Structure 1
Amino acid sequence: MQEYINIYTDGSARGNPGPGGYGIILRYKQSVKELSQGFRLTTNNRMELLAVVVALENLKTNQIPVRIFSDSKYVIDAIQKRWVYGWQAKGFNKKKNKDLWQRYLSLARSFNIEFVWVKGHNGHPENERCDVLAVEAALGKNLLIDHYFEEVQQHED
């Protein structure tokens, strides 16, 4: 049976834009690690995508295949339907989250990644836990500044 590093992600924004956060669970065999972070002004889609990026950035190896579980159709469809590669070819012209997509594409090259869509708020234990982490992060203190969103993207809209 194939071994995988399983990654569960979720993003949240309280208002869109508004305070937001992401939640991540990294699982390999018996090892489990949770990550989360909040931002003072961002969007739900940014947090969904940032969760995937941060999860990949936190992996210590690229030698084990990775399965990423997400309830974000935005993220899953852009990757599985290969839209992101068309956006990249056009310089992400008029596309949101260019900075995060570029980070993702740079990371993804060195991993064997399989994406799995899960229905959100449907009782999936890890997805529910990631949602709690993301919401708690969004509502927490010490929120970081999503510089790209606040300084660049918001002014392009």
Structure 2
Amino acid sequence: MTSPFKHAVTIYTDGACSGNPGPGGWAAVLQSGEHRKEISGAARHTTNNIMELTAAIQALRQLRAPSRVTLFSDSRYLVQGMTEWLPNWIRKGWRRPGGTVANRTLWEELHRLAGRHAVMWRWIPAHHDDPVASHPENARCDELARAAIAAMEREEGGGATTEIPDDPS
């Protein structure tokens, strides 16, 4: 039997904020065989969690065909959200103890995009928490995300600047 997933893709993502909330950036490094792509962007007023979700969303949007994806992130919010919390949120109508799920629109988009692929979500230590155990691509994503913030603040462009609206939920 032939797999519907034509490519194996490794993705590293990161989000960053100058203040939380404040100006934020996101970045991803995608690798498949000899191919490599770096993407990044920024938003003027956002949160770190929104940037983490945006990095994963933008990375998955780059994939043209259903793929076997291993996505690495230092965000427990992202990884636990996709592997542990999401099924319960959906089953409970996007409610959680104490109210509604924050950033629901982004979670729904990420869930939709991930559904096209076979995604393994992997947490890795943050580059600044454990430089020895962290991955160089995670540090590269952090550099790209912070550069996107700086470029936006200078209004010189830089990366694919993406304004993320405040989530009403």
Equivalent residue for 2:31, pick from 27, 44, 51: 27
Q: Any stretches of 5+ residues in structure 1 without a counterpart? A: none
Partner of 1:111: 117
TM-superposition CA deviations, 1:70-119 (whole Å, max 9, x none): 000001111222x1121123332321111100001111211101111110
Partner of 1:68: 71
- 1:41 matched to 2:45: yes
Q: May I ask how many residue pairs the two structures share in their alignment?
A: 147
Decide whether the 8 Å contact of 1:16 with 1:42 is kept in 2.
yes
Q: Any stretches of 5+ residues in structure 2 without a counterpart? A: 1-6, 156-160
- 1:85 matched to 2:87: yes
Q: Output the CA distance in 1 between the equivalents of 2:81 and 2:163.
A: 25
Partner of 1:50: 54
Higher relative helix content: 1
Equivalent residue for 1:139, pick from 147, 150, 167: 150
Query: TM-score by structure 2 length?
Result: 0.81
Segments ≥4 residues shifted beyond 6 Å: none
Decide whether the 8 Å contact of 2:46 with 2:166 is kept in 1.
no
* % identity of equivalent residues: 37
Query: TM-score by structure 1 length?
Result: 0.87
Q: Output the CA distance in 2 between the equivalents of 1:4 and 1:146.
A: 29
